[in-house]
């Protein structure tokens, strides 16, 4: 549909059309900007950084204005008008436009796709704000606290009165934490009582329930208690803090790696560095690897900062919109959240902390495939801020950057949690159990070694807590045929299906396909069929039987569906009601519970045989991180690592928590085979419904990449493939891959640019380029 030609004019002898135009970046795979004419009513709203709605083919799309100009080279008949510009102020400032432009260039996506990634979905939906019930005091604070004291006195005098004590605790909590907002359900959960006494107090005129919009209840996730400041920083903590604060005071970009053993007090360094940033009038962002960390992290940080905003995917649209608004207006200057919190529109960014920087969850697995750690460093560079990376097991890329002087290395070599700066807590003792020998001695296959069972029983008898780690979900991990040996595979993915007892179904963890358990083998028609392997669902059941009378909770993606699920599970463990916590990798990261004295790793071999050059690194990191959950308080800890490969370098060094020895071994292999950090990778993946189509497209990609490599011999190290992906079929599509190893960013970008003409994809063929891939499957 042609635009309104009255808006512009052409000059004699000129191909340019005069008028008022904007360049719009649209979230499409077409790598270019699009010119649109601006009608007079929208002249003040369709400006650089503003969101606009424009016609695109037969549909309308929302994009961001990235440029304004007075002429366009498009023929007048092809020029179309901006349809809508709904915002009074720009949504994307200059710094974020520069960052997204870099993301587009580096991660092989379009500028519009990068811009879409940094804006919350609620900006595009416009859903209505919801309300929540919030408890309010019906009388003054003084009257409320006096009534709480009177009820407590009655209980002391009578020696009984559980109901009155509950009333007193409720009144005291609301009379004390007057700046927090609590729903009846949330307060009851936090105080460990039912909602009945809350409603009784409402009827008696002490409390009232008010419906408030979500943005008025922003403090509902804050903790009920404040955590005391540690008596003193250790000398190593103080030195690390001084180095970071010096860069903050100089207002300069700098990247630090805070390398500290588990329990060494990295979080306290984060907090004090953020306090310094705020004291200088700046803002700070803390990135955590998963939503599972957010409630515990928020509790600790909310005790030290007045106004924190949390951004993560489990929030409702309204909650995310309100948090975004508070951040943009400068009301919140501390932002906490997983990957996407990096793009919070904070004012005067001073510090970005990336906790557990080695975690793979910082890498986005869809377009744009950015890595939050590296993108955070670039944002800090563009805005003159400080990037602080923290880990007990840094990625090899980060360690190499620190070792070569690109990043400044700060070390915390000893624990302080549970001890003092002068007398730090000891690292947990790690014991390796050879499960091959254990099975021989138990005369059959064993999931639990006698040593692990005994350690758990002793800890529970002492009133302590236990964490059991297994990086496998489900009840049984596969169904095998005793006749042909084949496992029951997903019909849409080239992986075995797992049995989930709660569903009574075989389930694929990739495409969520479910199937009934067959009576005969689908491959040979024979049998018998036997369920094998243990997942966290069965592990939970076994532990409940083994340690009857002790509450067991499970944390994995099958049961952790909402933010409340995380908060409930972690609070139950934190309060001591839950004695045993079972989980996948989400319990391995950063959780800090002082009463945990025993940690069990049921199968340390999981993942070691995967076709991924990072498999050893991940195994080492998981063992070290899981081991770090034990003995963080004043009580000594023990970690039992079960494995069929007790002499494996990742198992041995992980058990000793000897990072430098592992790194020395692994870097030698990486250097010899041109893997990161000694090369940059581009993983090209072709997906097609027909195997032949995928193989044909993979061959074309490989030939084009090899042609580029010949022209840049010496800087493009190798082109591997085409080869079938480790997961050869996923969600019904066959997959072929090509792996390019190159010297640096320039060569990587050259490869992507040379292959871009081949990236034309549709329903029958999909081609993606993953720069600096984390998942090779």
State residue 363's pLDDT score. 95
Give the CA distances from residue 667 to residues 259, 625, 677, 717, 774, in Å, rounded to whole numbers and listed in that order.
Answer: 18, 20, 8, 17, 17
Residue 581 has pLDDT above 60, yes or no: yes
State residue 1's pLDDT score. 38
Worst-scoring range by mean pLDDT, 131-145, 165-179, 406-420, 472-486? 165-179
- 3-class DSSP state of 676: coil
State residue 678's pLDDT score. 95
**Per-residue pLDDT tens for 640-672?**
999 999 999 999 999 888 999 999 999 999 999
State residue 29's pLDDT score. 87
Copy the structure tokens of residue 120: 């919350």
Of residues 611 and 457, more confidence is placed in: 457
Copy the structure tokens of residue 111: 């500028």
Mean pLDDT of 65-69: 95
Residue 6 has pLDDT above 50, yes or no: no
State residue 482's pLDDT score. 84
Mean pLDDT of 549-555: 93
Best CA proximity match to 248, nearest among 228, 278, 204: 278
Residue 190 has pLDDT above 50, yes or no: yes
Residue 772 has pLDDT above 60, yes or no: yes
**Per-residue pLDDT tens for 377-407?**
999 999 999 999 999 999 999 999 999 999 9
Identify the band that residue 585 occupies on the pLDDT scale cut at 50, 70 and 90. Answer: confident
Instruction: Quote the radius of gyration of the chain (alpha carbons, Å).
Output: 29
Helix boundaries (H) for 162-234: 162-176, 184-191, 196-203
Residue that has been written with the tokens 């039992």 in this structure = 640
Average pLDDT, the chain: 86
Of residues 196 and 582, more confidence is placed in: 582
State residue 229's pLDDT score. 53
| Strand-pair partners of 51 | 64
For residues 181 and 217, give the distance between their C-alpha atoms in angstroms, rounded to a whole number. 6
Best CA proximity match to 248, nearest among 216, 199, 283, 217: 283
Best CA proximity match to 269, nearest among 248, 296, 294, 291: 248
**Per-residue pLDDT tens for 728-758?**
998 888 999 999 999 988 888 888 888 877 7
Copy the structure tokens of residue 533: 């392997």
For residues 24 and 104, give the distance between their C-alpha atoms in angstroms, rounded to a whole number. 15
Could you give the percent of the chain with pLDDT greater than 70? 90
Residue 139 has pLDDT above 70, yes or no: yes
State residue 590's pLDDT score. 65
Mean pLDDT of 87-111: 93
| Cβ contact 580:560 at 8 Å | no
Q: Which regions of 281-407 does DSSP assign to beta strands (E)?
A: 283-287, 308-310, 334-337, 349-355, 386-391
Mean pLDDT of 496-501: 86
Could you give the percent of the chain with pLDDT greater than 90? 48
| Strand-pair partners of 576 | none
DSSP code for 759: G
Residue 485 has pLDDT above 80, yes or no: yes
State residue 186's pLDDT score. 74
CA angle (680 as vertex; 677, 681 as ends), nearest 5: 120
Mean pLDDT of 308-323: 79
State residue 291's pLDDT score. 58
| Cβ contact 630:638 at 8 Å | yes
Copy the structure tokens of residue 403: 């070792």
Give the CA distances from residue 315 to residues 127, 303, 323, 437, 719, in Å, rounded to whole numbers and listed in that order.
Answer: 13, 22, 10, 48, 42
Residue 10 has pLDDT above 60, yes or no: no
Copy the structure tokens of residue 714: 């010496």
Of residues 54 and 476, more confidence is placed in: 54
For residues 338 and 293, give the distance between their C-alpha atoms in angstroms, rounded to a whole number. 9
| Strand-pair partners of 68 | 22
Residue 224 has pLDDT above 50, yes or no: no
Mean pLDDT of 68-86: 90
Residue 88 has pLDDT above 90, yes or no: no
**Per-residue pLDDT tens for 234-261?**
999 999 999 999 999 999 999 999 999 9
- What is the β-pairing status of strands 349-355 and 334-337? unpaired
Identify the band that residue 192 occupies on the pLDDT scale cut at 50, 70 and 90. Answer: low
**Per-residue pLDDT tens for 344-383?**
999 999 999 999 999 999 999 888 999 999 999 999 999 9
Best CA proximity match to 47, nearest among 7, 79, 82, 77: 82
Give the CA distances from residue 92 to residues 107, 370, 497, in Å, rounded to whole numbers and listed in that order.
Answer: 20, 18, 44
Mean pLDDT of 325-345: 92
Residue 193 has pLDDT above 60, yes or no: yes
Copy the structure tokens of residue 542: 């076994």
**Per-residue pLDDT tens for 684-704?**
999 998 999 999 999 999 999
For residues 423 and 770, give the distance between their C-alpha atoms in angstroms, rounded to a whole number. 47
Residue 219 has pLDDT above 70, yes or no: no
Residues in the chain: 777
Identify the band that residue 216 occupies on the pLDDT scale cut at 50, 70 and 90. Answer: very low
């Amino acid at each position: 549909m042609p635009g309104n030609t009255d808006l512009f004019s052409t000059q004699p002898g000129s191909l340019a059309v005069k008028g008022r135009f904007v360049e719009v970046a649209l979230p499409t795979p077409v790598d270019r900007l699009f010119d649109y004419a601006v009608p007079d009513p929208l002249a003040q709203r369709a400006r650089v950084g503003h969101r606009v709605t424009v016609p695109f083919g037969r549909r309308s799309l929302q994009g961001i204005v990235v440029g304004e100009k007075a002429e366009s080279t498009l023929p007048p008949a092809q020029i179309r008008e901006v349809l809508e510009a709904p915002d009074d102020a720009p949504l994307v400032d200059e710094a974020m436009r520069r960052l997204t432009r870099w993301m587009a260039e580096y991660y092989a996506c379009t500028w519009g796709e990068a811009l879409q990634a940094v804006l919350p979905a609620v900006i595009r939906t416009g859903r209505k704000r919801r309300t929540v019930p919030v408890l309010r005091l019906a009388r003054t604070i003084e009257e409320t606290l006096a009534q709480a004291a009177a009820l407590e006195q009655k209980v002391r005098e009578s020696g009984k009165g559980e109901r009155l004590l509950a009333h007193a605790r409720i009144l005291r909590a609301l009379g004390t934490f007057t700046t927090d907002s609590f729903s009846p359900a949330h307060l009851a959960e936090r105080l460990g009582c039912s909602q009945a006494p809350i409603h009784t107090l409402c009827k008696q005129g002490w409390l009232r329930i008010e419906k408030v919009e979500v943005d008025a209840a922003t403090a509902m996730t804050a903790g009920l208690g404040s955590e005391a400041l540690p008596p003193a920083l250790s000398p190593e903590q103080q030195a690390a803090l001084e180095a970071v604060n010096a860069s903050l005071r100089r207002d300069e970009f700098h990247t630090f790696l805070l390398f500290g053993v588990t329990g060494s007090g990295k979080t306290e360094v984060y907090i004090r560095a953020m306090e310094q940033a705020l004291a200088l009038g700046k803002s700070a962002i803390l990135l955590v690897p998963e939503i599972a960390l957010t409630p515990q992290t928020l509790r600790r940080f909310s005790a030290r900062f007045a106004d924190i905003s949390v951004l993560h995917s489990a929030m409702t649209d309204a909650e995310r919109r309100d948090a975004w608004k508070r951040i943009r207006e400068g009301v919140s200057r501390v932002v906490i959240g997983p990957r996407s919190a990096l793009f919070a529109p904070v004012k005067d960014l001073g510090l970005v902390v990336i906790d557990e920087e080695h975690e793979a969850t910082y890498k986005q697995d869809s377009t744009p495939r950015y890595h939050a750690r590296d993108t955070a460093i670039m944002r800090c560079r563009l805005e003159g801020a400080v990037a602080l990376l923290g880990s007990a097991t840094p990625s090899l890329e980060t360690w190499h950057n620190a070792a070569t002087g690109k990043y400044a290395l700060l070390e915390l070599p000893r624990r302080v949690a549970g001890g003092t700066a002068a007398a730090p807590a000891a690292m947990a003792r790690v014991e390796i159990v050879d499960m091959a020998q254990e099975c021989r001695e138990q005369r059959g296959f064993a999931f639990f070694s006698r040593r692990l069972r005994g350690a758990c029983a002793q800890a529970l008898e002492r009133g302590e807590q236990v964490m059991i780690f297994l990086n496998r979900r489900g009840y049984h991990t596969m169904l095998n045929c005793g006749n042909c040996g084949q496992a029951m595979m997903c019909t849409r993915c080239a992986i075995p299906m797992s049995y989930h007892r709660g569903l009574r179904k075989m389930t694929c963890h990739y495409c969520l396909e479910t199937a009934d358990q067959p009576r005969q083998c689908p491959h040979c028609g024979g049998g018998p069929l036997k369920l094998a392997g243990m997942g966290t669902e069965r592990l939970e059941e076994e532990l409940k039987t083994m340690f009857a009378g002790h509450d067991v909770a499970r944390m994995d993606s099958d049961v952790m569906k909402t933010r409340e699920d995380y908060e409930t599970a972690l609070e139950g463990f934190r309060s001591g009601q839950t004695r045993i916590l079972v989980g996948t990798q989400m319990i391995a990261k950063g959780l800090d519970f002082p009463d945990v004295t025993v940690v069990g790793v049921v199968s340390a071999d999981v993942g070691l045989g995967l076709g991924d050059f990072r498999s050893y690194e991940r195994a080492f990191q998981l063992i070290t991180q899981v081991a770090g959950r034990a003995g963080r308080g004043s009580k000594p800890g023990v970690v039992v690592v079960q494995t069929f490969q007790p002499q494996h370098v990742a198992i041995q060094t992980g058990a000793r928590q000897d990072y430098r020895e592992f790194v020395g071994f692994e870097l030698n292999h990486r250097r010899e085979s041109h893997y990161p950090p000694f090369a940059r990778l581009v993983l090209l993946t072709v997906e097609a419904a027909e195997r032949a189509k995928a193989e044909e497209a993979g061959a074309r990609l490989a030939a084009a990449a090899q042609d580029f490599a010949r022209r840049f011999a010496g800087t493009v190290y190798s082109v591997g493939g085409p080869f079938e992906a480790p997961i050869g079929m996923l969600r019904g599509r066959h997959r072929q891959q090509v792996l390019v190893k190159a010297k640096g960013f320039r060569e990587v970008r050259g490869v992507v640019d040379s292959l871009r003409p081949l990236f034309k994809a549709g329903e029958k063929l999909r081609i993606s380029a993953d720069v600096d891939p984390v998942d090779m499957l």
